[in-house]
Structure 1
Amino acid sequence: MTERHSPDDHPFAEFLREPTADSGASAPVGSRRERRESTSSPQRPSKRPRKRRRALVAVVVTLVLIGGLAGAGAYVYTTFEPQISAILSADTSEDYSGDGSGEVTVQISDGDFGEAIGTKLQAAGVIKDSKTFYRTLLKKDPQPVFQTGTFKLASKMSSTSAIAALLNPANKVDYTVSIPEGTTASGIYESLASVTGMSFDDFKAAGADFVSLGVPANAPSVEGFLYPATYEFQPGQTPSEMLKTMVDRQYEALDAAGVAVDQRLQVLTLAALIQGEAGSVEDMYKVSRVFQNRLADGMNLQSDATVRYGAGGSAVDTTEAEREDASNLYNTYANPGLPVGPIGNPGSEAIDAALHPADGAWLYFVTVNLDTGETIFSDTYDGQLEAVKQYQANHPEG
C-alpha cells in the first residue's frame, strides 16, 4: 500500500496555496473540487484594474475640460473686466440719492471716457461709487456724449443726477473768450481779465515776459503773436498759460501758411499792418500790394494806423506833429520800411494777404467811408487827393 502524505509535505506546497480574501493571508487548498470552486468564484479580481483605468481616463478628461474653460474664462474676464465688474456689483454697489449739496468743480479732459469720469467724480466726492456711476451710464440709451471743460457740480449726488449735471451746458464754468482779429495785446488783457476775474496787471506782466512764452527775443513785444480766436480756458490756469496757448496757436497758423521760422516777425508785422488798414477781407490783398509796391519803390508806408499805435490814444486820425515824430519807431511817415513790430494781432486772412498780395500798380489807398469800410485805391498821387476829398465830404467832423 502506498503511503499517503499530507499536502504540506509536498516539496512545492507553497506554490499550491492561493490567496484568500484576507489581506495577504494564505490558506491551503484541500482538494481539486475546492480549487475549482475557488477559481469559479463570482469575484474576479483580474477585471478590477481595467475599471480603474477607465475611471482615471474620465477624470483626466474632465480636468482638461475644466482647465480649458477656466483659461477661456480668464481671457473673457481680463478683456471685459470693467463691464463684468459693473454687472457683478449691480446689487452690492452703493449710491447717494438726490442732487447733493454745496459746490464742487470737476474738469473733464479730452479723451476721458465713462470709467475715467466716474473715478474723477468719486475722488472729488461728487458720487459715492464709480462702478455704480458706470453701471448707470451703461443703461443710458443713447449713450451720453460729455463735453470737455470744467463743470460745477455738488457733493454727494446720485449717479443719475451727476450724469444729468454734466450734460447741462449751464453747469459748464469755462473761461470762454473771443478775440477779434486786429485786437492789440492790451485789448486782449482786458478781455481776459473781464472773463476770468484776474487783474489786467497780471496779464500785462505775463505778456511782458514774452520770451518765456516762445516769442523771439528780437521782437519788441508779444504783440502780433497772440492768435485771435475763441478760447475756452479752465479755472486754475495762469495768465502765462493762457497767453502761451495763444502764442502756440499763432505759430500753428504761420506753419500752416508755410512761413519760415526766421520770417515770422516780418510776416506778422506786415500782416498786422494789413489787418489794421483794410476795410474788408477782400481789400486786404490790395492793401498788401500797396505796401509792397511802396517798399519796392523806396517810399515810406505812411500809415496812420502805425503812427497811432506808437503814439497811443484811440483817435482814428493823426496830427501833423505826430506824423513828424521820428522817435516813434512805429511812425511810418518819418521812418522808412516796416514798423519795428506788429501793431496788433492778425488773423489767418491777413497772414495770407501778406504772403499773396493782389496784382496791381496801386501806391495809395484811403478808406472814404469809415462806416462801410469802402476804400479807394489809386496809382497816382492825384488820384489819392481826389479820394481824400471824398473822405472829407463823408466825414466833415474829421
Structure 2
Amino acid sequence: MKNTLIALLLLVGLGAGIGYFFWEDYQHFLVTPIASSRVDAQDDAVILEVPRGEGLRDLASRLQADGLIDNAHYLIALAYNRRQADQIKAGEYALTPEMTPGQLLDLLVSGRSIQYPVTLIEGRTFSDALASIAAEPEFKHELQDLTDAEILAALDLDIEHPEGWFFPDTYLFRRGASDIQVLRRAHERMREVLDEEWGNRDADLPLTSPYEALILASVIEKETGLGSERPEIAGVFVRRLRKGMRLQTDPTVIYGLGAEFDGNLTRVHLETDSPYNTYTRGGLPPTPIALPGREAIHAALHPEDGETLYFVARGDGSHYFSATLDEHNCAVQRFQRGGQCDPARFR
C-alpha cells in the first residue's frame, strides 16, 4: 500500500512537472517573434498567402514547416482560446519578423491583406488606363482584346463611349482583383465626383448636362499642366461657347486623329473635318478626350470671369491669354515664332 502511494505521488509529480514544462514552453511561444528561427528573419517582411478554403490546422502546419512558428499545436490552441479558429480570412499578408503569434492571428482575422496600387493618370486616355492596368501582374486581366463596346458590356455600364468616365486616381486592390473591378470602382468614383461638382456649379453656364461638363473638363485637362491655369482656360472656352465661337483647340483634333497622329499637328489636320475637329465644327466634341481630374471638372463648372478669348503656349508650360485676335496674333508671333511683337501693347 505504501509503495502504491509513493508511486502515485511520483506520477502526480511527474505529470505536474510535464504540465509545468509545457505551460512554460507555451508561454515562451506566445512572446517569441515569428520567423525567429529563419535565416531570413531580418528581412523587412515575410509574405504569407492564405488561400481560400485553407483551415487552421493546415495553415498552422504550413507555418511550422516554413519556420515561421515553432509549434503548430500551440498556434491552434491559441486560436481556439481566443475564439479565432474559424475567423481567419483568405488573403496575402505581410508578416513582420517582430510579430508575435497573437499578433499574427489578429492580422489573419482582420483580413488586412496586402494591397497593390494601380494608377490612372489625369489627362491620359481610356486606352492608356487599360494599358496601366494590364501592366500590373498582380491583377487578373479579363478585358484584353475586347472592343470598347464589349468592355462596357462586361462592366455593365449604360454609356455609349468609355472615354472620360473613369476617375484618375490611385486605387488599391488585393492580388487577383480583376481589371473589371478596377474600372468599376474608377467609374463609381467619377460618378460621385461629377454629381457633386455638377450640383454646385455656377449659374448660367452653356452646359446642359453633367456629361457636357465632363467633355469640357477633359479638354481643359489636356490644354494645360498648370493647375492654376485651369479656371482661366475654362473661362476662355465658356465665353467662346456663349458667343458661338468655335473652341479651336488642338487636343481635340489630335484625339480625333487617333493612331494616325505622329506627334506633328499640321495645317492639313486642322483643316480636315472630323467630329473632333473644333476648328471646323462648333460646340463641344462628341465625347471627352481624356480622363479629367476633379480640378478640371471644378474649373469647367466654375470658370474664371474675364474677357479673354484666346491663349497660346509660352513655351515654359504656361499660356498667354488675349482678349482680341490682334493681341493673340501678336502673342503667337512672340511665343511661337520667336518674333519681337509685344502683345502687352494691345491691353
Cα distance in 2 for residues equivalent to 1:275 and 1:238: 28
- Conservation of the 8 A alpha-carbon contact between 1:189 and 1:200: no
Identify the residue that residue 295 of structure 1 maps to in structure 2. Answer: 241
Q: Deviations over 1:14-69 (max 9, x none)?
A: xxxxxxxxxxxxxxxxxxxxxxxxxxxxxxxxxxxxxxxxxxxxxxxxxxxxxxxx
Cα distance in 1 for residues equivalent to 2:303 and 2:145: 34
- Conservation of the 8 A alpha-carbon contact between 1:277 and 1:305: yes
Counterpart check, 1:254 vs 2:198: no
Counterpart check, 1:186 vs 2:127: yes
Identify the residue that residue 332 of structure 1 maps to in structure 2. Answer: 278
1:159 aligned partner, one-letter code: P
Identify the residue that residue 82 of structure 1 maps to in structure 2. Answer: none
Cα distance in 2 for residues equivalent to 1:351 and 1:98: 50
Counterpart check, 1:320 vs 2:262: no
- Conservation of the 8 A alpha-carbon contact between 1:215 and 1:247: no
TM-score w.r.t. length of structure 2:
0.65
1:318 aligned partner, one-letter code: L
SS in 2 for 1:300: coil
Counterpart check, 1:213 vs 2:185: no
Cα distance in 1 for residues equivalent to 2:58 and 2:165: 37
Identify the residue that residue 165 of structure 2 maps to in structure 1. Answer: 225
Cα distance in 2 for residues equivalent to 1:192 and 1:134: 41
- Conservation of the 8 A alpha-carbon contact between 2:223 and 2:251: yes
Alpha-carbon spacing, 1:316–1:276, altered in 2? closer, same or farther (3 Å): farther
Alpha-carbon spacing, 1:216–1:394, altered in 2? closer, same or farther (3 Å): farther
Cα distance in 1 for residues equivalent to 2:198 and 2:175: 34
Counterpart check, 1:122 vs 2:68: no
- Conservation of the 8 A alpha-carbon contact between 1:267 and 1:351: yes
**Deviation of 1:263 (Å):** 2.3
Cα distance in 2 for residues equivalent to 1:284 and 1:358: 9
Q: Deviations over 1:208-267 (max 9, x none)?
A: 4325536443x3x2110110011112222222121111100111111221449x823211
Cα distance in 1 for residues equivalent to 2:114 and 2:122: 25
SS in 2 for 1:202: coil
Identify the residue that residue 179 of structure 2 maps to in structure 1. Answer: 239
1:238 aligned partner, one-letter code: S
- Conservation of the 8 A alpha-carbon contact between 1:308 and 1:315: no
Percent identity, aligned pairs only?
30
Unpaired segments of 5 or more residues in structure 2? 1-24, 39-45, 64-71, 85-89, 201-207, 340-347
Cα distance in 1 for residues equivalent to 2:91 and 2:277: 44
2:132 aligned partner, one-letter code: S
* The one of 325, 332, 341 aligned to 1:388: 332
CA RMSD of aligned residues (A): 4.2
- Conservation of the 8 A alpha-carbon contact between 2:120 and 2:170: yes
Cα distance in 2 for residues equivalent to 1:205 and 1:182: 23
Alpha-carbon spacing, 1:256–1:124, altered in 2? closer, same or farther (3 Å): farther
1:392 aligned partner, one-letter code: Q
- Conservation of the 8 A alpha-carbon contact between 2:142 and 2:178: no
Tell which structure's C-alpha radius of gyration is larger.
1
Structure with larger RCO (C-alpha < 8 A, sep 6+): 2
TM-score w.r.t. length of structure 1:
0.58
- Conservation of the 8 A alpha-carbon contact between 2:245 and 2:282: yes
* The one of 296, 300, 323 aligned to 1:354: 300
SS in 2 for 1:377: strand
Alpha-carbon spacing, 1:149–1:290, altered in 2? closer, same or farther (3 Å): farther
Q: Deviations over 1:256-298 (max 9, x none)?
A: 21449x8232111010001101241111111111111111111
Cα distance in 2 for residues equivalent to 1:124 and 1:202: 35
Cα distance in 2 for residues equivalent to 1:210 and 1:315: 28
Cα distance in 2 for residues equivalent to 1:273 and 1:182: 9
- Number of positions where the alignment pairs a residue of Structure 1 with one of Structure 2: 273
Cα distance in 2 for residues equivalent to 1:322 and 1:258: 34
Identify the residue that residue 195 of structure 1 maps to in structure 2. Answer: 136
Identify the residue that residue 101 of structure 2 maps to in structure 1. Answer: 159
- Conservation of the 8 A alpha-carbon contact between 1:133 and 1:159: no
Cα distance in 1 for residues equivalent to 2:338 and 2:76: 68
Alpha-carbon spacing, 1:387–1:149, altered in 2? closer, same or farther (3 Å): farther
Cα distance in 1 for residues equivalent to 2:293 and 2:145: 21
1:346 aligned partner, one-letter code: P
